[in-house]
Amino acid sequence: MSADIVLSCEGLVKRFGGITATDKVSLQLLRGARHALIGPNGAGKTTLINLFTGVLPPTAGSIRLLGKDISHLSPHQRVQRGLVRTFQINQLFDGLTPLQTLAMTVSQHLGMGATALRPLGHDPRVAKRCENLLSQFHLLEVMDHPTQQLAYGKRRLLEMAIAMACEPSVLLLDEPVAGVPAGEREELLRTVAALPADVSVLLIEHDMDLVFSFAKSMTVMVNGAVLTEGTPAEMAADARVREVYLGHGGKHG
Amino acid sequence: MLTLLFDGVAYGMLLFILSIGLAVTLGLMNFINLAHGAFAMAGGYTTVLLMQHAGLPFLLCVPLAFVFTALLGAVMEATLYRRMYNKPHLDQVLFSIGLTFMAVAGVDYFVGSTQQLVQLPEFLKGRTELWDGALGMGHYRLAIIAVCVVLTLVLQLLLVRTRFGSQLRAAVDNQRVAAGLGIDVNKVFLLTFAVGSGLAGLGGALGAEVLGLDPIFPLKFMIYFLIVVAVGGTSGLTGPLLAALLLGIADVAGKYYIPKLGAFIVYSLMIVILLWRPQGLFSRGGK
Amino acid sequence: MNRSALSLSLAAKPRWWEFALWAFLLSLPLLLPTHALLISEITVIALFAMSLDLILGYSGILSLGHAAFFGMGAYSAALFAKHINPDPLLGLAVATSVTALLGAICSLGILRGSDLTRLMVTLGVALILQELANKLDFITGGADGLQGVVVGPVLGQFEFDLMGQTAAWYTLSTTLAVFLLLRQVVVSPFGFSLQAIRDNVLRAQAIGIPVHARLIAAYTLAAALAGMAGGLQAQTTGFASLDVFGFDRSADVLLMLVIGGTGWLWGGIVGAVVFKSLHSIISAWTPQYWTFWLGLFLVLLMLVGRARLIRPWTWGRRA
C-alpha cells in the first residue's frame, strides 16, 4: 500500500511569529488520486501547498515525494521530480507569448533548458508538444499574442497549460476556476477532468460542484489543522464539516 | 577612542536625520528616491545663502531650511513624484538621478562650485575635554547630537501617538487596505514626503559645517543615505537609527585607524551585511 | 512543420534590417575616416551597453555598478599590455577572463534581495574597486591613471595607427562577434528562461528553472563582455584612469540602454549612438552644463514613459 503513496507530509508545522498557519498536518496522496482539499478561508490550504512546493520552509515536520524526503529541496528541484502546481492568481510571463512560454517550459523538461547557443524550438519535439498543449488548452489562435494582452479566461488556461508542460506526476491545483466567468468554467473543468489517470491531483477548491464532480476523496482543513478526511459523500454527511462551513451545526440538511 | 565614539555617534545621528525621510518614502511609496541628497543640499545652501546675503543668524536659518525644503518637497511630490509611483523601479531610479543631476548643475551655475563655509555662532564653537582629554567633545557636535535626539523622540511620538502617525503606519503596512479604511493616502504621501525632505534639509543645514557643502554633496553622500536605508530597513525608526549609528561609528573609526583604506571599510561592511540579510539588518523582513 | 514550429523558427531568424544596419556600421570607418576614433569610442560603449542589456533588459537585474567590470577589464588589459605582452587579442582574452571571474564572484551578491539591495551591492562593488584602484597606486597609477599603454599590432599585422582606422575595425569586428553570440543566446531556451526570471521569478522556480544558476551564468557572461569593452577602451586609447569605475559611467550606460530600449539587443547600440551624439552637440553649446540637460532629459523621459520615446506619435496621449 505504501508504494502507492505519491506525496505525503508528516506532522507538518508552519509558524509565522505567533501564528500557527499549519498545525501538525499529516496527509497522504495516493497514485492517480483525485483528492480535494477544502476548508474555509484562512484554513491554511494555500500555505500547505506552499510548504509542499518548497516556497515556504516548514517549522517542523517532513514531506515525502515518491518515497523520498524532499523537505530540504529547493522549489525548482521539486518540480524537476514531478511535483507541479498552479496558482490561484495567475502567475504568467507577461513579456513572452504563450508559445514561447510553453516552448521554454517544455525545453526545460526535456533537459534543454540551459541550452544557450541553439534557438528555442530547434528540437522538433518541442514544437510538437507545444502544438498539442496549445490545442488542448484552446490557445492556438493566441499563441503569438503577448501574454499581457490575453483575456482572463485564456490566461487561466495558459496557467494550467504551463503546469501540464512540466509533465507532472503530482499536480497541485490551487483554485483553478477562481475568477473564471461561469460560461468559461466548463472548458476549464473538462480539461481538469481529462487529466491523465496516472497523474495524481490535489485540488483546492471552494466551488462545491467542482469538488463533488471531480474528487474521489477529500480532506477538510480548519485553522491550519486537518479536521477530517473521507469520500465526498461521507464529508457531505459529516455534521462537523457542515458546521465549519455553515456554522449552524446540521440545521441545513 | 572615546572621542572617536563621540564623533561617530554625532555623525551617525546626523546621518539618521538625513536618511529617515528616504527610509519612510521607500517604505511608504515603494519609491527609490536617489534625489534625496539634493534636498539635503537645498537645506544646506538655504542656510548658507540666508546667512551670507540676508545676514540672518545661524539658529534662525536652520529651522528656515527645514521649512523651505519641506515646501520644496511638497511641491515636487504633488507635481512630479506622484506620477512616478506606479512606474518600475528602473524608471524611478533614472528619474531621481535626473533630478539630482539638475540640482547639482543648477547649484553649480548659480552659486559656484567652491566649498561653502558656515560661520557658527560663538557659543557653538569650542570644545570640552573630559577625563584628561580621553573624551573630547566638540560643542557643535554635542549640539547636533542633542538636536537629533530631540527630533528622533518627536518623530517617534508623532508616529506612535498621533492619528497621522497611525495613518502613516497603516499606509506603510498595506496601502490598499489603508485607502479602503478611508485614509487619504494622497495626503499621507504628500505630508510624509514634505516632512522627510524637510528633515533632509535640516540635516543638510546642520551638517554643512561637519560634512562640507558643495554642489556634488548629493552624489558624495547618496551612498551613505542608501546604506542606512538598505541596512536599517524601512519599517520603523529603530532600524535606520541603529544602522546610521553603526555607519557613523564605522566610518569615523575606519578613517582614523586605517586611513589608507578609507571608505573601503564601510562599503565592504555594507555588502557583507546585505549578502547576509538582504532585507536589511533590522527590518522585519519584507520589501 | 506545424504552426508552433513555424512561429518559433521565424522568431529566431535575424531580420533583413539587422544585416543592413550592420553592413552600414561596418562601412563607417570607410565613409567617415576622420571620425575613426569617435567610431571606436562609440562602438566600445555600445558593447558595454549590450552587456548591460543582458542583465537588465533580459534578466531584470537593476545594476548601478556595471562599470566595475568595465574598469576591471580596462585595467587588466592595460596592465597586461604594459608588463606582460603587448598583443591585443591576448590582452583582450585576459581582460575578459579576469572580469568573468570577478563577475562570477559578484553574481552571488545579486541573487537575493530587493531592487534596492541589488542597486546597493552593485554600486558598492564599483565603489570598492574604484577605491582599490585609487589606493593601490603603485600598480594602477592611482589618480593619475595608467599611462603609456602601447599595444602591438592586431593579429601581428594591423598596427594601431594615429588616425584610428585599425582601432575602428578592431572594435567593430569584436562587437559584431559579440552581437552574433548574444543574438544566439537571447533566442535560446536559456535566454528565454532569463526573461521568465525577469517577468516572474516565483513562476520560473515553479516550472523547474534553477533561478540562481541561470542568474549566475548570465551575470558572469555580462560581466565578461563588459570587461571586454573596458579592455578595448584601454587598448584603443592607450590609457586607463579611475573614472572607468565611476558612478557616472554606470549611470550613463544605464541611461543609454534605456534610451535605446531594453530587451531587444539593439538598444545598446542605438542608445550609445544617440547618447554620444547628444553629448557632442550639447557639449558644444554649454560644455559645463551637460549634466543639467542630461538630468532634464532623464526626468522628462521618465515622466513620459520609456516605451514611448521611440514612438513619437504617443507623446500627446495619456499613459
Grid cell locating B187: 495626503
Q: What is the pLDDT of residue B286?
A: 40
Grid cell locating C52: 548591460
Give the helix ranges, DSSP H, for chain B.
2-29, 36-53, 58-79, 89-111, 139-161, 163-173, 175-180, 185-211, 217-232, 238-257, 264-276
Q: Which fold has domain A2-246?
A: Rossmann fold (3.40.50)
If one compares B5 and C54, the residue with the highest pLDDT of the two is: C54
Question: B189 near B127, Cβ under 8 Å?
Answer: no
Place of cell 527645514: B66
pLDDT of C312 above 60: no
Dist CA A110 CA B212 (whole Å): 61
Find which of B77, B84, B267 to mutate to test the C interface (most C CBs within 10 Å of its CB): B267
H or E stretch covering A204: strand A200-204
Q: What is the pLDDT of residue A164?
A: 92
- For residue B287, the SS3 value is coil
Q: How far is C109 from chain B (nearest CA, A)?
A: 6
Residue among C128, C292, C306 minimizing CB distance to B105: C292
Write out pLDDT tens, residues A193-214. Answer: 788 888 999 999 877 777 888 8
- For residue B127, the SS3 value is strand
Residue B194 burial (C-beta neighbours within 10 Å; 0-12, 13-18, 19+): buried
Which chain C residues contact residue B260 at CB under 8 A?
A: 135
Which chain A residues contact residue C208 at CB under 8 A?
A: 76, 79-80, 105, 108-109, 113, 166
Torsion of CA B78, B81, B82, B86, to 10 degrees: 180
Q: What is the pLDDT of residue A1?
A: 45
Query: Which candidate, C231, C242, C227, C72, places its Cα nearest to that of C141?
Result: C242
| Number of domains, chain C | 1
Question: C52 near C254, Cβ under 8 Å?
Answer: yes
If one compares C293 and A172, the residue with the highest pLDDT of the two is: A172
Predicted TM-score of the model (pTM):
0.88
Residue C319's pLDDT band (cuts 50, 70, 90): very low
Dist CA B122 CA B129 (whole Å): 18
Neighbour tally for C157: CB within 10 Å: 7
Q: What are phi and psi of A179, to 5 degrees?
A: 75, 0
Burial C42-80 (b: 16+ CB within 10 A, else e): bbbbbbbbbbbbbbbbbbbbbbbbbbbbbbbbbbbbbbb
Q: Cβ of C258 and B90 within 8 Å? A: yes
Residue among A105, A120, A127 minimizing CB distance to C187: A120
Write out pLDDT tens, residues C254-288. Answer: 989 988 888 888 999 999 999 998 888 888 887 67
Residue among A75, A84, A120 minimizing CB distance to C188: A120
Which chain A residue's Cα is nearest to C9?
A121
Q: What is the pLDDT of residue B266?
A: 81
Query: Which candidate, C302, C315, C69, places its Cα nearest to that of B90?
Result: C302
Dist CA C289 CA C276 (whole Å): 15
Grid cell locating B128: 570640552
A165 close contact with C: CB closer than 8 A: yes
Question: B97 near B37, Cβ under 8 Å?
Answer: no
B260 close contact with C: CB closer than 8 A: yes
Grid cell locating C62: 537593476
Dist CA B32 CA B65 (whole Å): 24
DSSP letter (8 states) at residue A55 = S
Q: What is the pLDDT of residue A249?
A: 39
Residues 6+ apart with CB under 8 A from B7: B138, B141, B252
User: Edge-to-edge, what's the strand order for the sheet holding A5-16?
Assistant: A19-30, A5-16, A60-65, A68-69
Residues 6+ apart with CB under 8 A from A40: A222, A244, A245
Question: C78 near C94, Cβ under 8 Å?
Answer: no
Q: What is the pLDDT of residue B133?
A: 66
Burial C110-132 (b: 16+ CB within 10 A, else e): bbebbbbbbbbbbbbbbbbbbbb
Residue among C7, C189, C196 minimizing CB distance to A143: C7
C277 in a structural domain: no
Question: Directed axis angle between helix B185-211 and helix B36-53, to 10°?
Answer: 60
Neighbour tally for A251: CB within 10 Å: 9
Residue among C115, C247, C255 minimizing CB distance to B94: C255
Write out pLDDT tens, residues A141-173. Answer: 999 999 999 988 889 889 999 999 999 999 999
Domain hosting residue C108, numbered range: 32-268
H or E stretch covering A23: strand A19-30
Grid cell locating B219: 552624489
Dist CA C46 CA C259 (whole Å): 12
Amino acid in position A217: S
Residue C101 burial (C-beta neighbours within 10 Å; 0-12, 13-18, 19+): middle
Q: Which residues pair with A218 in a beta bridge?
A: A36, A230
Q: What is the pLDDT of residue B112?
A: 82
Dist CA A32 CA A198 (whole Å): 5
Q: Cβ of A117 and C191 within 8 Å? A: no
Q: Cβ of C202 and A91 within 8 Å? A: yes
Domain boundaries along the sequence of chain B: 2-276
Q: What is the pLDDT of residue C311?
A: 55
Dist CA C48 CA B134 (whole Å): 53
Q: Cβ of C4 and A75 within 8 Å? A: no
C7 close contact with A: CB closer than 8 A: yes
Would you give per-residue pLDDT tens digits along chain B (287 residues)? 788 888 899 999 999 999 998 988 888 888 889 999 999 999 999 998 888 888 888 888 889 999 999 999 999 999 998 888 888 888 898 999 999 999 999 888 888 888 877 777 777 777 777 776 667 777 888 888 888 889 888 888 888 888 888 888 787 777 778 888 888 888 888 999 999 999 999 999 988 888 888 888 888 888 889 889 888 887 778 889 999 999 998 888 888 887 777 677 788 888 888 888 777 666 554 43
Dist CA C211 CA C4 (whole Å): 26
Mean pLDDT across the stretch C125-138?
87
In chain C, residues 283-312 whose CB comes closer than 8 Å to chain A: none
- For residue C158, the SS3 value is strand
Q: Please count the helices (runs of H) and the strands (runs of E) in chain A.
A: 9, 10
B110 close contact with C: CB closer than 8 A: no
Dist CA B92 CA B99 (whole Å): 11
Q: What is the pLDDT of residue B132?
A: 67
Which of A30-44, B88-102, C81-95, C138-152 comes out lowest in average pLDDT?
Answer: C138-152
A126 close contact with C: CB closer than 8 A: yes
Query: Which candidate, A70, A87, A129, places its Cα nearest to that of A105?
Result: A129
pLDDT of C221 above 70: yes
If one compares C316 and C94, the residue with the highest pLDDT of the two is: C94
Q: Cβ of C135 and B271 within 8 Å? A: no
Q: Cβ of A162 and C8 within 8 Å? A: no
Q: What is the pLDDT of residue A246?
A: 62
C147 in a structural domain: yes
Question: B12 near B247, Cβ under 8 Å?
Answer: yes
Q: What are phi and psi of C104, to 5 degrees?
A: -60, -45
Q: Cβ of B109 and C117 within 8 Å? A: no
In chain C, residues 110-149 whose CB comes closer than 8 Å to chain B: 112-117, 119-121, 123-125, 127-128, 131-132, 135
Place of cell 525621510: B21
pLDDT of C35 above 60: yes
DSSP letter (8 states) at residue C84 = T
> Top-level CATH class of B2-276?
mainly alpha
